[in-house]
Structure 1
Amino acid sequence: MSNPTPPLFPFSVMGLLIGRTALLKDQILDRNLEPYSVTAAQFKVLIMIAHFGVDTPAELCRQLSLDSGAMTRMLDRLEQKGLIIRRRCAADRRQVRLALPQEGQELADLLPKFGADAMDELLGALTPEEHATLERILKKVLFSAGDVITMQRLGDSQ
């Protein structure tokens, strides 16, 4: 029995290109955030708490596609750095709520600029038209795949 050939097999390089692009974006963020002792992964957690209102480890796991063990370790590191606070929920003591202390909020206020700078560096070779085309294509791919996170963040703005 032969292996089935996907109809778009000649274009399978797309997985490599998309994966490498995401990795390179994280490497740029890591480099730019190094003076603040924050990694790209920690950047994503802080952005979710500060700018998307995510306040539980479980929701962070869902939003960032991380398992609870990895999230616990990351939150431990952020807490040790004084960038987040974990508190038990008054209504349900089993649940942990996340918040940013002043130092965490001050850093979180800078993070959108770091994100924008990383994207400018990564996509700087594109013309404005190419940038708009790439964005439109990626939205179409994510919406057609039913990506809940993209739909929540962008609504109907395909």
Structure 2
Amino acid sequence: MQHYDRDNFPLRYSIGHLLALVNQQKDRLLDKYLAPHDVTAAQFKVLLLQQKDAALDTPAALCRALSLDSGAMTRMLDRLENKGLLTRVRCDADRRQVRLLLTEQGKAFSQQIMSIAADALNDLTQPLTREEFKELDRLLRKILTPTGLLPDAQGAH
């Protein structure tokens, strides 16, 4: 179904622009909650994936999961390593391959990750009623399901 046409395109109110603004606001809220930990929203996403998905233990896997180029990922991993939150370990079987591991400090911080994420997203969605939140969730899933970008439904809630 066509919802827009080029002659009457509401640029500032298009769904694309609104979703981008919501994403920016989400990152601002995450930054607010993460400031005491000296971690940015972008770094938080790497740490979250490291904690929640053992398959994302290489820079290449994280690049794919976060849609980042390898240069940006290298800089991010450098910062996280400098903060003592993760470390790179060369694979014994193939020295060209690097695995990422949370340090003890990173593991300690990861215990707070889900609480920080929940607090930030609760702030973001605070204006919505429970029914509105469920409807927004349903609609976003409907848009994303055919793309294959959604993870398996297991553990989605």
- The 1:153–1:70 alpha-carbon spacing in structure 2 relative to 1, beyond 3 Å, is farther
Q: Does 1:7 align with 2:2?
A: yes
Shift of 1:154: 2.6
Q: Can you list the C-alpha shifts for 1:28-85, whole angstroms capped at 9, x where unaligned? A: 0011100110000000000001112210000000000000000000000000000001
How big is the shift at 1:11?
6.5
Aligned twin of 2:26: 25
List alignment gaps of at least 5 residues for structure 1: 1-5
The aligned runs of 1:147-158 (5 Å cut-off) are: 147=149, 150=150, 152-154=151-153
1:118 corresponds in structure 2 to: 120
Aligned residue number for residue 46 of structure 1 = 47
Percent sequence identity over matched residues? Answer: 47
Unaligned 5+ segments in structure 2 are none
Q: How does 1:52-131 map to 2 (within 5 A)?
A: 52-53=53-54, 54-131=56-133
Shift of residue 145, structure 1, vs aligned partner: 2.5
Secondary structure of 1:110 counterpart: helix
Aligned pairs, number: 148
Using the TM superposition, give the Cα deviation of residue 108 of structure 1 relative to its aligned residue in structure 2, in angstroms: 1.1
Q: Which amino acid aligns with 1:102?
A: E
In the superposition, the TM-score normalised over structure 2's length comes to 0.89
Residues in 1 aligned to 2:74 and 2:153: alpha-carbon distance in whole angstroms? 28
TM-score, normalised to structure 1, is: 0.88
CA RMSD between the two structures? 1.6
Q: How far 1:153 sits from its partner (Å)?
A: 4.0
Provide the C-alpha distance between the structure 2 equivalents of 1:74 and 1:106, rounded to a whole number of angstroms: 19
